[in-house]
Homo-oligomer: A and B are copies of this chain.
């Protein structure tokens, strides 16, 4: 049985760091942007373009897409690329013990009984984390950052739920939900890895 761990996460909660450290600790493959890179190779499309389409999902279009034909065409293009991304994810999981971050992997791989983690945090912690990663010179207010964080998570939830039998972030669908506020991700990852080992033993 493949050891597959999916990490879904709120923006700013440290989910990516969590997933990366977890993969390192477990000695398995780590897949995040790698999924899009594989898709870019397959489709000969630009990775930056794919990132944008896949992140915004099927519900947000540029304001320039004023008429409904443009919108339908964009939606069907986006849906097609998301379906292709799902195939890439299945292929990865077939060939590797791995940690996959985001990209609907929790739902796409559900039949394979992955260990599903949801990483989240209090808003204050997420704002602080985002601020720590801002390019120099940028100094948005807390309110602006909160709006950005909520907007990104709304996009993730919408895209996820369109292709899933469960709701993004609903704890019932996950094996473990970790609130990173007040925790050192580096310190707790080994403990989480032990819980995961127990799951794959049973």
Contacts and interface: CB of A to CB of B under 8 A. Distances in A.
Interface of A: 118, 120, 122, 169, 171-172, 174-179, 181-184, 187-188, 190-192, 194-195, 198-199, 201-202
Contacts of A199: 182-183
Nearest to A190: B194
Contact of A195 (B175, B181, B192, B202): B192
Contacts of A172: 120, 122, 179
Contacts of A184: 198, 201-202
Given A118-B171, A177-B177, A178-B176, A188 B183 contact: no
Contacts of A179: 171-172, 174-176
Task: Indicate how many identical chains form the complex.
Answer: 2
A177 B171 contact: yes
Give the interface SS of chain A, mostly helix, strand, loop or mixed: mixed
Given A174-B179, A183-B202, A190-B194, 12 more contacts: A169-B171, A175-B181, A177-B177, A182-B202, A183-B198, A183-B199, A184-B198, A184-B201, A187-B201, A188-B198, A191-B191, A191-B198
Contacts of A190: 194
Interface hub of A192, A194, A195 (most chain B Cβ within 10 A): A195
Given A176-B178, A177-B176, A178-B176, A183 B195 contact: yes
A6 to B, nearest CB: 14
A80 to B, nearest CB: 33
A191 B193 CA distance: 9
9 contacts: A120-B172, A174-B177, A176-B176, A182-B199, A183-B195, A187-B198, A188-B194, A190-B194, A191-B191
A177 B170 CA distance: 11
